[in-house]
Amino acid sequence: MASITFKNNPVTLLGNEVKVGDTAPDFTVLANDLSEVTLSNSKGKVRLISVVPSIDTGVCDAQTRRFNEDASKLDNVEVLTISVDLPFAQKRWCASNGLENVQTLSDHRDLSFAEAYGVHIKELRLLARAVFVVDANDKVTYVEYVSEATNHPNYEAAIEAAKAAQ
């Protein structure tokens, strides 16, 4: 299992660690309108899955903006930003930041994504910061579990992986 810290304190990750080459596990999360979203909803596209502890923090805000800005320039790439924030909070964040095309998804109900991708921080019931790229055939082509949850991911490597997965 990946080893991470949160504010320099070790935390326990629950779920199944995902590795490059794996078939991407399915999951069920909630869109801002409370409808269910699964991995298969974006089948046939490259998915850049940006995982953040909470959309209302500075690093998470920057990560969400950066991936959506950079990936929006790529054909056939869909960015899914997943946190355990309530769908209402995610919708408010998008509206207050003037971001209409950002797809924020909530894993608060079942921790379905968290368990399937090994990002459930047991001590905090938050998601660990991570990035996954899944190709159009549902193969995982890139994985980054950020070792310190308050740090930024490697944006350039993830965007390059999304380009290469097309």
DSSP assignment of 23-90 equals BPPP-EEE-TTS-EEEGGGGTTSEEEEEE-S-TTSHHHHHHHHHHHHHHTTSTTEEEEEEESS-HHHH
Known active-site residue 94: no
Among residues 13, 39, 60, 165, which one is catalytic? 60
- Beta strands 13-14; 28-30: pairing state: unpaired
Known catalytic residues are: 60
